[in-house]
Amino acid sequence: MTRVSIQEADFDVGAELAALQGERTDVGAVASFVGCVRGHTLADDVSALTLEHYPGMTERAIEAMIVAAEARFGVRAARVIHRVGRLLPGERIVLVAVTSSHRRDAFQACEFLMDYLKTHAPFWKKETTPDGERWVDARVADDAALERWGLASRNATGDGH
């Protein structure tokens, strides 16, 4: 089964969760996160988001994150879908879903995957606002979120040297 999809189209959360669980009887927990486009930031109204990615690297990076999640948590199966292209406020952007025997592993693996994806998957968001278009800045808080898992993250900080 495909574990990672990068696509312009929307996804059906219910169908994806059902497919992830499948016929398995060893799954006691299905946890998922759905990220959506916010229509406003602290500063401005946002009428659309445009998402760009690095084809090839994106799929490879997220696949490696799933392998890392499997090594840490009792993951039975995982599914990540991330949309690209132009998205409007309220639209779904990302789905991360995990199955496991017990809820704790499923919750944790789901959060771990999102923290990892935010800081290490090559996506870039551009906001359309009344003042024009602008690239979204990376957040130091997202690095801090990954570091809680014991993984160093210098996406938002550092000059690259």
Partner 1 sequence: MRLTLKYFASLREALGSGTTLDWSPAGEPSAGALRAWLRAQSDAHAQALAPGRAVRVAVDQVLADEATPLHDGAEVAFFPPVTGG
Residues of the shown chain interacting with partner 1 in the complex, contacts defined by CB under 8 A: 35, 51-54, 56-57, 60-61, 82, 93-94, 114, 117-126, 135-138, 142, 155-161
Nearest distance, CB of residue 125 and partner 1, angstroms:
5
Indicate the residue among 25 and 157 with the shorter CB distance to partner 1.
157
Smallest separation (angstroms) from partner 1 to the CB of 150: 17
Considering the complex, what minimum distance in angstroms separates the CB of residue 50 from partner 1? 10
- Which residues is 5 bridged to in the sheet? 81
CA-CA distance, 139 to 143, in Å (whole number)? 7
| 59 phi and psi angles, rounded to 5 deg | -60, -45
Q: Which is nearer to partner 1, 65 or 75 (CB)?
A: 65
> Minimum distance between the CB of residue 114 and partner 1, rounded to whole angstroms?
6
CA dihedral 27, 97, 139, 61 (to 10 degrees): 100
CA-closest candidate to residue 121, choices 148, 88, 94, 89: 94
∠ CA 33-9-93, nearest 5°, is 30
Residue 76 or residue 121: which is nearer to partner 1 going by CB? 121
Helix, strand or coil, per DSSP, at residue 137: coil
Closer CB to partner 1, 6 or 76, in the complex: 6
